Structure 1
Amino acid sequence: MQKFLLFASSLCLSATAVQAQVDTVRASTLPPAQQAEKLYNSGVSKFNSKNYRAAIQDFDRALTLRPDFAKAFYNRATTRYELKEYQQAVQDYDQAIKLETTGFSNYFGRAQAQEALGQKTEAEADYGKAAEIKPDYAPSWYYRGALRFEKGEFKEAKADFDQAIKVDPNYAYAYHDRASAERKLGNFDAAVQDYSKALSLQPDFMPALLNRAAAKRRDNDLKGALADYNTYLSKKQDNATAFTNRGSTRYEAGDYKGAVEDFTKAIELDGSYAFAWNNRAAAYLKLEDYKSAAADAAKAIALNAQYAEAYMNRGHAREMLRDADGACQDWRKAAELGLETGTSYAANSGCGGD
């Protein structure tokens, strides 16, 4: 009761204030288009803060007020891409393109989402459209080139990487991937130059160092290849492929003990790496350790029953271990798997039929 009486009393005390002048507050609303713009700007701000779900809500509300708001469709698509909602992103890019057919970023964004969905043909076409609308945007050329490279269209890929580099001479990834295209085309000197350029632009670009080593090796520059492999492995020692490739280079340079060490390290990192087991078998053959060679080749075969070179190497080891029948079986199996030298060894060793 006390609280009630006090409240009532306060009403009586305020009665005299009713006569005073009171300012009137007038409610006002922005036109729908301006409200949509305000919501759009709020969505962009939230996107930049990585508050993606809240950004989506703002773009949704903006599009409810203004269904022809191309920028809102584009930015909602971009936000959905960040959320890995790729199919919804494609749908929003579709709407943005309908409303703004000359917006290169709409095509580029849709291409990214399509690529994430595995729709590579569609993505390639959209990257091309983006490059057509805005030829001075290097990523459009680069990403289309990467898709063409994946298809084995190395000349076409190189042409796209050329364009990307022309537009942006400091595009390290474009130099790297053009170098890879050059390797596939057998242009090893050019590949080495491009990998070197990529490294000059981005010194910590480790894949470029590893790939330059491979290009030098293919160009018979074994010393240069070993120098690159050594530099790479001094910085990164958890890559079984790098140890295997340096081992192969050492093998080609006649350093069979060094090759065994590298193949062993690769096997320690990845015991299921059949290539390393087979290569160590080949190195053991050169070192005349035939039992180890036979065992390693057998392991490679156990991991990959279609590994023709491993049958070939086990055949050599078995021959030296005086297991003529076993050697003949392995050479014939290598021939059966497409390694023609298997037939020659079997014939020259007097292997009969099964």
Structure 2
Amino acid sequence: MRNILLLTAALGLTGLAAQAQVDSVRASTLPPAQQAEKLYNSGVAKFNQKSYRAALQDFDRALALRPDFAKAFYNRATTRYELKDYQPAVQDYDEALKLEPASGTAYFGRAQAREALKQPAEAEQDYSKAVEANAAYAPAWYYRGALRFEKADYAAAKADFDQAIKADPGYAYAWHDRGSAQRQLNNYPAAIQDYTKALALQPELLPALLNRAGTKRRAGDLKGALQDYADYLQKKQDNPVAYTNRGATRYEAGDYKGAAEDFGRAVALDATYAFAWNNRAAAYLKLEDYQKAEADASKALALNPQYGEAYLNRGHAREMLRNPTGACQDWRKAAELGLEIGTNYAANSGCGEGN
């Protein structure tokens, strides 16, 4: 009986060992395509968690198992883009497009990588391929429009922004940038409408408020421009350009004291802002504070010795401070820098050889 019991126990152990061996084999023998899919899904999850290095490893392993896996090439390219590895990203998009030549998203991704590599012509070609593949994909129209805007082809840029808005009427940035294209084309009422629409869609899109202010100023609506500048500066007080532009608008409206205050805020934020120093000099000239005007123009010239307008303003200040020699020298320098009016000032003030 003991022998039988021992034999039964031995048989039981043998059965367990065999069962364990079968389970182990089943767990480790997924077909390569399924393993690649599993690694791909893991990579996507890690990408969504912004664990880009870990995602890259999973996509690498997936492609080692399945070299014709177009989605893995595409997502590895996207991951490399996030890691700022732009040239390898382009190479992965190339492979994805070999496998799926009609992939608009791959063309779009490659365009973005090529932009990052400072290859605007190649990027524009890829955006064109992307919109050919999918005319309803608004970002491709938008980014091609932005490239065309940068090379001053404003009519073509506007046409692209038109298409982006058609594809996605809620695309605030497309409305904003179409407004900028309209502004460059001198279509000020249309530009103002586009900036207004962008702000309705995205109220915190402050560049639209700033650009609408500038467009209203160009259109002669100084009151409207000043209101937009005030609204912008209430929300953002660290932009010296905004203060300078409001100062220029106040200057045009005859508020020279307010203009000088705004230019002062600009140079307080950026002491190297020669344009603001010179503008405040012009405001001080209007306020008949000639010593301050001379000092500000001199500061602008210390920052930019080739600043012709600053020589003109300092010349006027020096003339009023009874320094005709200095005034004549400044006006002649302005003329040397291409401002012919400097010659006129010098002649009208009787600047001779001795001055």
Q: 1 CA distance for matches of 2:210 and 2:353?
A: 45
**Structure 1 Cα separation of the partners of residues 184 and 82 of structure 2:** 34
Letter in 1 for 2:9: A
Q: After superposition, where does 1:90-105 map in structure 2 within 5 Å?
A: 90-105=90-105
Tell me the CA shift for residue 197 of structure 1.
Answer: 0.5
User: What displacement does 1:244 show?
Assistant: 0.8
Q: Does 1:338 align with 2:338?
A: yes
| Residue identity (%) | 73
Q: Compared with structure 1, are the counterparts of its residues 218 and 63 closer, same or farther at alpha carbon in structure 2 (3 Å cutoff)? A: same
User: CA separation in 1, counterparts of 2:181 and 2:349?
Assistant: 42
Where does residue 85 of structure 2 map in the other structure? Answer: 85
Give the Cα–Cα distance (whole angstroms) in 2 for the partners of residues 258 and 268 of structure 1: 15
Map residues 135-154 of structure 1 onto 2, 5 A cutoff: 135-154=135-154
Gap runs ≥5 in structure 1: 1-12
Gaps of 5+ in 2: none
**Equivalent-residue separation in structure 2 for 1:163 and 1:16 (angstroms):** 80
For the structure 1 residues 198 and 14, does the alpha-carbon distance in structure 2 shift closer, same or farther, using more than 3 Å as the test? farther
Q: Aligned partners of 2:247 and 2:210: how far apart in 1?
A: 13
RMSD: 1.5
Superposition map of 1:247-258 within 5 A = 247-258=247-258
Give a deviation string over 1:51-88, Cα, whole Å, max 9, x none: 21111111111111111111110000001111111111
1:9 matched to which residue of 2?
A: none
Equivalent AA in structure 1 for residue 86 of structure 2:
Y
| Residue of structure 1 in register with 2:116 after alignment | 116
Matched, 1:266 2:288: no
Match of 1:203, SS?
coil
SS in structure 1 at match of 2:238: coil
Displacement, 1:350? 2.0
Write out per-residue CA displacement over residues 194-222 of structure 1, whole angstroms, 9 at most, x where no aligned residue.
Answer: 10010010011111101100000011100
Q: Does residue 1:57 correspond to 2:49, yes or no? A: no
Cα distance in 2 for residues equivalent to 1:83 and 1:149: 28
Q: Does 1:212 align with 2:212?
A: yes
Matches within 5 A, 1:163-174: 163-174=163-174
How many corresponding residue pairs?
A: 342
When the two structures are superposed, what TM-score results if normalisation uses the length of structure 1? 0.94
Counterparts of 1:18 and 1:340 in 2: how far apart (Å)? Answer: 111
Any idea what SS the aligned residue of 2:352 has? coil
Alignment of 1:167-206 (within 5 A): 167-206=167-206
Q: Which residue of 2 aligns with 1:221?
A: 221
Q: 1:83 to 1:15 in 2, by over 3 A?
A: farther
Distance, in Å, in 2 between the alignment partners of 1:154 and 1:19 is 86
Taking the aligned partners of 1:94 and 1:337, their CA distance within structure 2 comes to: 51
The CA deviation at 1:353 is: 4.6
1:106 matched residue in structure 2: 106
